A and B are shown apart, each in its own frame.
Chain A
């Protein structure tokens, strides 16, 4: 089966840096997405990684190691508005089509 693990909750301080980890054991892996979801709102796309390495996008960076089945999302200069759930999702290519499989999400609380 497909298995995606990420911490349930994290707390960090405004202005700090936080790293949210995601590990996966899947077949047909073809890339990984990170989404942000504020309570009661749509998940919004943050970043994706297909190849190993770091992708940087402003205050947000995402890293992927395909050989280790591991990714992280790095948030710098935390702001209160970054309090949200962060969803790790793996993109799988199967013989019958493609599919996005999500982890349960990590709730990040930013405190002042």
Chain B
């Protein structure tokens, strides 16, 4: 079981649509992450938030816009995406993003951009 939930689990959108992915963690953690997982490629870190502050943007295009209103919730706002953005988007959380600590993942949102 996981203390990290993500909605929706599946999403199909056109290139002109705007949609948002939601992540919620119930573990009392203070660090949250967005990763992208494409077929046969490693998980790629996109964004990191520690205590609601963005601490890393891993050269992600501006068509992806994260939002972290509090330590339990993380959003990824999507607009004018490209077909190559189709992937599994995973959210993770960890205790506080400092030091050596385990990250716990949500089930992911499978995104298809048409």
| B95: min CB distance to chain A, Å | 12
Q: Is the CB of A31 within 8 A of B100?
A: yes
Q: How many residues of A contact B (CB 8 A)?
A: 27
Q: A43-B90, A87-B43 are in contact. Are A97 and B97 (CB under 8 A)?
A: yes
Q: Is the CB of A42 within 8 A of B107?
A: yes
Inside 8 A of A35's CB, which chain B residues have their CB?
A: 105
* Interface assignment of A48: CB less than 8 Å from any CB of chain B: yes
Q: Is the CB of B105 within 8 A of A98?
A: no
* Interface assignment of B55: CB less than 8 Å from any CB of chain A: yes
Q: Is the CB of B97 within 8 A of A42?
A: no
Q: Is the CB of A33 within 8 A of B102?
A: yes
Inside 8 A of A31's CB, which chain B residues have their CB?
A: 100
Identify the A interface with B (CB < 8 A): 4, 8, 30-31, 33, 35, 40-45, 48, 50, 87, 89, 91, 96-105
